[in-house]
Structures are given as structure tokens and as C-alpha cells.
Copies of this chain bind each other. A is one copy, B any other.
Amino acid sequence: MARIAILGAGVMGAALAYPLADNGHDIHLIGTHLDDTIITSCRESGVHPRHQRVLPPRVRPFYLSELQAALQGADVIALGVNSRGVRWAGQTLAPHLERGQPVIMVTKGLAASEHGDLQIFPAVFAAELPADLRASIPVAAIGGPSIAGELAARRETCVVFTAQDTATLDKLAPLFATSYYHIWTSTDMIGVEVCVALKNIYALGIGFVAGMLEAAGGLDGNAAMHNYAAALFAQGLVETAQMVQLLGGGIETVFSLPGAGDLYVTCQGGRNSRMGRLLGLGVKPDSANQELAGETVEGVDAVATIAPAVNTLISRGVLKPDAFPLMRQIYCVAVEGQSAESIVERFFRPEFLNLQPVHALGR
């Protein structure tokens, strides 16, 4: 049996504790500075307040101030911070990491340089470690589809663990795999990380359609707007494939669990969908964010980072002027506050190989 330290006690970090505990491991669940009330609740009642579910007895909750003790003897460190906390996590863990100690991340997103170059989060995390330590810390990541609340309820969940070397994967995956937590492994880190980052953006955009349907008066007979949402879903996956190719990942990852699967599950609810609905209704981003009580919406954060990088890559000539039309349109709506209404007209353009659009005849 192993000891696993999880840094970040939000819903996803805490959810990992369930399969790990079921495998008999000791789990140290460490809150970040954002998680103090969560840790207090876990200590006082044994209930994780956001899951509203009892933590397994093998889980010991720790405040961030107890980090050093909490990390002691950890065979693996799992990282459940949000997308704004990746660099912080690298800086915070650096003094404590031991050579060969693997880190596995569930945080999703891409970072952009001022030149528009995009980087996957495991690389961003590793860059914060001292150079001599960096090469000896294997950094892995988990790609969905995995709604945290379902994992904590021990519902069937199938994910991909990804790392650069199979030895790391062979060590990590058996620690987590249970009869309900099914794990494939993949060395296509770029493919997995790009897919899981972009799905938040496209789920946000697909969410617009729910708001647009309401704004249009709802159902017309039995007719919803599923065709529209499905077209955005497909275009999102096409653009995901293009980004995977741009960064050098494997295209087969796009139509497996981290691509199609994670985009599908992210469209089934959650903050991206709720934010998308509000934007589709015509609510401005600031007001929409207030309605969501200021909670982080990963899709908004991701598009606010990645779409400007795409524009920079276009201006550098790395990408064509019409690249990523849906992502850039989602940016206009979710960040700049433009109307979602005309989104279809702007993104239905020639995009992919031999698929060519036919313009409507004048009427």
C-alpha cells in the first residue's frame, strides 16, 4: 500500500481519494489557501462540503500550513489545483519534492507565452522546479471524461493517464485503478492535454445554444436547437484536432476519451454550460460571472488565454487568418461581450480538407 498526497482539496482533488482509498492507500488531502473552509469541514464532520459526501476513513485532511508534514513519505503527489494555480503549485512543492517522486495532475488548460506559443500544464509545472530536480520528477496527467461528483459516487468512469514514459504510467495507474475507475494509459501527453484544455472552451460555446433557445422563445413544436449545438460540437472537435496537430500531439486522441469523451461529458452540465447559457441569453460576461457567484469558469479562463495566442500566431504567419474560427468567436462572446447570435455565420467557413461550405442563395 502506498501513501498519496493530494494538493488541492476541491471537487476533483477530493474525488481521487475514493478509488485510492478503496485500494487501501493512505491519503493526505491538502487544501490550498483557497480550501481552508473545506479542510475545516472535512476535519470536523468527515464530510467534504462540496461533494456532500463522507470521505473514506483513510483520508487525512491537512491545511496548507501543514504542507511539510503532509508530504512526508508520499509515494506520489496528485495535483488538484485550478488552472490559475499551476505555477504556484510548482513553486510551493519544489522545496519538498524528492528525486523520482511522481506528480500527477488533473488541472486542465494551456499556458501562452507573449509570442503566442502554447505549452501544456505538466511542462508549466515542471518549469517551476529547480533544473537539477526537474529531470528526476516524472510529471503525469489525467484526462477525462470524469465528472468529479460521479467518481466520488463510485460511478463507472474511464480515463486516460498520460506521461512521457511508460514506466511512470506502469507505476501510477495500478495505484488508482478500481472496478469502477478504469484507466487507459497514453504517452501522447500533448494530445491528451490539448484535448482536455480545449473541451472547456467548446463546452462553453455549445452552452450558448441553450440560452439562444430560451431567447428565441423555447421549443417550436418539438423542435429544440440540437442541430445547432451538434454543429458547434463537431466544429469544436475539428478545431481541437487542429490544435493537437499544431502542437505535435496524436490525432487519435481527439476521437477517444480525452477528446470526444471529455467534450461530451462537459456539455452535460457544470459551470461552463451554465455560463454559456447566460451568455447565449445575452447576459454580459461581468453580469454572468456575478450570477455564478464569481466561481472560476475554466472555459472562460482558457479562451481568455488561448484565443489571443491564436491571434498572435496568425499575425506571425504560423496560422492562417481564418484558423480556429469558433474559438475566436467564443472569445468575442465570453470575453468581449459580443452577441452570441451571429456565431453560426462567422464560423461556417471552409475549415477542413475537402469540406467546403456552400453559401445560401439570396432569398
Report B-chain residues with C-beta under 8 Å of the C-beta of A179.
360, 363
Bound state CA distance, A289 and B235, in angstroms? Answer: 35
Let me know if B344 and A182 touch, CB within 8 A: yes
In the complex, which residues 206-252 of chain A have their Cβ closer than 8 Å to any Cβ of chain B?
Answer: 220-231, 233-235, 237-238, 240-241, 250-252
Let me know if A227 and B358 touch, CB within 8 A: no
Question: Which secondary structure dominates where chain A touches chain B?
Answer: mixed
Copies in the complex: 2
Let me know if A227 and B188 touch, CB within 8 A: no
Which one of A23, A147, A234 has the highest number of Cβ atoms from chain B below 10 Å of its Cβ? A234
Task: Write the nearest CB–CB distance from A336 to chain B, whole angstroms.
Answer: 22
Let me know if B352 and A252 touch, CB within 8 A: yes
The answer to whether the Cβ of A361 comes within 8 Å of any Cβ in the partner chain is yes
Task: Write the nearest CB–CB distance from A40 to chain B, whole angstroms.
Answer: 21
Among the listed stretches A78-86, A261-269, A312-320, which one makes contact with chain B, having 4 or more residues with CB under 8 Å of it? A261-269
Query: What count of chain A residues pass the 8 Å CB interface test?
Result: 80
Report B-chain residues with C-beta under 8 Å of the C-beta of A230.
144-145, 257, 261-262, 264-265, 268
Let me know if A156 and B356 touch, CB within 8 A: no
Chain A 269-292: CB-based contact to B (< 8 A → 1; otherwise 0): 100000000000000000000000
